[in-house]
Chain A
Amino acid sequence: MIFAAILAGGIGSRMGGTDTPKQFLDLGNKPVIVHTIEKFVINEKIDKTIVLTPKNFINHTNQLIKEYIPNADDIIVIEGGETRNDTLLNSIRYIEENFGIDDESIILTHDSVRPFVTHRIIEDNIKAARKYGACDTVIPATDTIVESINGETIESIPVRDYYYQGQTPQSFNIKKLFNLIDSLTEEESNILTDACKIFTLKDEDVHLVDGEVTNIKITYPYDLKLANTILEDRND
């Protein structure tokens, strides 16, 4: 089976000034998260879309889905975790308990705050996850990356050609992902900020899928303002 996990667990600490997590703010005339879910729901290759939200937003999310998305039978809303990886684990546990995991099962994990993801990116993720077992959506880095450990002086300037910016989806063979998470030491678990890192830590290949410059993450108030401006531009 093919699953999508929309990770909406974050409380938006970087967004500032608002109590509502950024995924529930409006982009155009619908909340960001609704736009994001729609992209996965229309892809009939995806059997179930699991939306992971903070506990106190489960009812709200269900309400939004009911209001905006017709025929939403394949969408399930469950509670996310403390960290991104806990949220991911929750989705995998839910899949295991309710649908079972076979060798072919894959999961596409996607930030709820990336509503501009394209159908092409989702399709490429499905293909790559099936073929290689793990993939990450990236775009080539355009800014020069500067490494500084003390935050005051430059340690090194890596060759930009080797660097990419990670987007989502990140997609995995679920069985492989599950086994790798199981084998992590506590120390390894603590440094994980990214699901693909689980694979690289264990020397497993993660294939690159081309992202898009438009596949932005709405992190800061500025991003939402920018996204709304771009969306309004279409009516001119």
Chain B
Amino acid sequence: MINIVYRLKSPKFFEEAIDEIELDGVIVRPTYLSICQADQRYYQGSRPVEVLEAKLPMALIHEAIGEVVFDSEKNFKQGDKVVMIPNTPSGDDVCKANYSYTSKFRGSGFDGFTSDLIKLTSDRVIKIPADFNPHVSAFIELISVAYQGISKFDELAITPKDKLGVWGDGNLGFITALFLKERFPESEVIVFGKHQENLNLFSFADEVYQIHNVSENVVVDHAFECVGSSASQSAIEQIIDLINPQGTINLFGVSEYPIPINTRMVLEKGLTIQGNSRSEREDFIGVVETLKENPNLFEHLEKLITNICEIQSLNDLKEAFDKDYISNFGKTILKWDK
């Protein structure tokens, strides 16, 4: 069947394109999408030229929910609300499929969710309750990244988890801190950020500090770096200073540049550094189940929504990206009517 896909042709320029899909899987109509920093880097053209040349034209967006239109295997009913998994494994992997070289990722290796319809295999679609807030549900993928990092941390950490430090007062820092508090209610969650106005929103955290104004004697058992870009360097430096021996440093922030790390102190303290990227099916299921059990999380997560844009044309899509770019905090949600 013919499908219309809306691709980024070159930075700041979208175009319609024609694709063809077979009727042998689950066909989903996207309803609410959410812009991620990674999409924004393509849109603004801030990825290296050779990356842009290799990947564009490509449909952006890997955070989205939708409604099932058709399922050849009848596992889903028409109208079922679903979250779509952007990671697409291609074979047997010895590692988690979100780290596999052979997996493809929507909005990175192939077309993302800005299209009339999306075809997925049954295991790339997770049903969500009809009463889930659609604006928050749009970024379940982002939540699942924090979720998988927290799950991996839980398996890795050998020292006590009494004090958990989160660096970064942006979207991922907020979500990671919130889900740490949910997963380890007895632990103290301490957030370190640059912007006081953002830190004020972390009402669920036990303590918040501006990075240049941390009280003496503050220590953490484990740390979560959600800063990214060149600022990761100073965040990791502060983490290494404040972390207790044999703690884990869980990295989430993406940087276009190599980041120097004080390895002498990593050795001396016996620290473990774990990288995190993307997520897999079990993480999506984990998030959906957690949200079902604790609907009060929606209230916190709603605080992240700064823009809701209705998309009926490619110009609307462009305006939404521009609006997202000038917002220094929060998520831009796209109500997809294109």
Where the two chains meet, the residues of A that have a C-beta atom closer than 8 Å to any C-beta of B are 27-28, 35, 38-39, 42-45, 69-70, 115-116, 118-120, 123, 210, 212-214, 230-231, 233-234
Mind listing 12 A-B residue pairs with CB under 8 Å? A28-B20, A38-B2, A39-B2, A42-B1, A42-B27, A42-B69, A45-B78, A70-B23, A118-B116, A119-B117, A214-B16, A234-B19
- In the complex, A130→B258 CA distance in Å? 58
Majority secondary structure of chain B interface residues (helix, strand, loop or mixed):
strand
Residue of A nearest to B16 (CB): A214
Q: How far does the alpha carbon of A44 sit from the alpha carbon of B29 in the complex, in Å? A: 13
A135 vs chain B, min Cβ distance (A)? 16
Complex: A181 Cα to B338 Cα, angstroms: 34
- Picked from A28, A115, A120, A234, the residue with its CB within 8 Å of the CB of B17 is A234
- Asked, given contacts A38-B23, A115-B2, A120-B338, whether A213 binds B29 with beta carbons under 8 Å apart, the answer is no
| Chain B 55-90: CB-based contact to A (< 8 A → 1; otherwise 0) | 000000000000001101000001000000000000
A217 to B304: give the CA distance in the assembly, Å. 44
Contacts A230-B18, A231-B18, A231-B20; A120 near B337 (Cβ below 8 A): yes
- By a CB distance below 8 angstroms, the chain A residues around B117 are 118-119
Q: Which chain B residues lie closer than 8 Å to A35 at the CB level?
A: 1-2
Q: Secondary structure of the A side of the interface?
A: loop
Other-chain residue from B4, B20, B78, B312 in contact with A118 (beta carbon distance below 8 A): B4
Interface size of B in residues (CB-CB distance below 8 Å) = 20
> CA A119 – CA B153 in complex, angstroms?
42
Beta-carbon contact of B69 and A44 below 8 Å? yes
Report the separation of the CA atoms of residues A231 and B70 in the bound assembly, to the nearest whole angstrom.
23
CA–CA, A183 to B304, complex, Å?
58
Q: Which of A120, A210, A234 contacts B116 (CB 8 A)?
A: A120
Using a CB–CB cutoff of 8 Å, the interface residues on chain B facing chain A are 1-2, 4, 16-20, 23, 27, 29, 69-70, 72, 78, 116-117, 312, 337-338
Chain A residue nearest to B69 in the complex (CB): A42
A42 and B23 contact, Cβ closer than 8 Å, known pairs A116-B18, A119-B69, A120-B338 = yes
Query: CA A194 – CA B17 in complex, angstroms?
Result: 30
CB of A112 to closest CB in B, whole Å = 13
Q: Check B18 against A214 for contact (C-beta < 8 Å).
A: yes
Residue of A nearest to B68 (CB): A44
Decide: A116 near B70, CB < 8 A? Known: A45-B78, A231-B18, A234-B17: no
Q: Contacts A35-B1, A42-B23, A234-B17 known; list 17 others, CB within 8 Å.
A: A38-B1, A44-B70, A44-B78, A45-B78, A69-B23, A118-B4, A118-B116, A120-B29, A120-B337, A123-B29, A212-B4, A212-B16, A213-B16, A230-B18, A231-B2, A231-B20, A233-B17
Cβ A42 vs Cβ B70 within 8 A: yes
Do B1 and A39 touch (CB < 8 A)?
A: yes
Q: Who on chain A is nearest to B77 by CB? A: A44
A120: nearest chain-B partner, CB-CB: B116
CB distance from A111 to the nearest CB of B (A): 14
Which listed residue, A43, A116, A120, touches B2 by the CB 8 Å rule? A116
Nearest chain B CB to A120 CB, angstrom units: 6
Give chain B residues whose Cβ lies under 8 Å from the Cβ of A233. Answer: 17-18
In the complex, what distance in Å separates the CA atom of A42 from the CA atom of B16?
22
Q: In whole angstroms, how far apart are the Cα atoms of A142 and B117 in the complex?
A: 27
A119 touching B29 in the complex, CB below 8 Å, given contacts A212-B4, A234-B18: yes
- The residue in chain B whose Cβ has the minimal distance to the Cβ of A69 is B23
Nearest CB in chain B: distance from A70 CB, A: 7
Q: Which residues of A contact B27 (CB under 8 A)?
A: 42
How far does the alpha carbon of A35 sit from the alpha carbon of B22 in the complex, in Å?
11
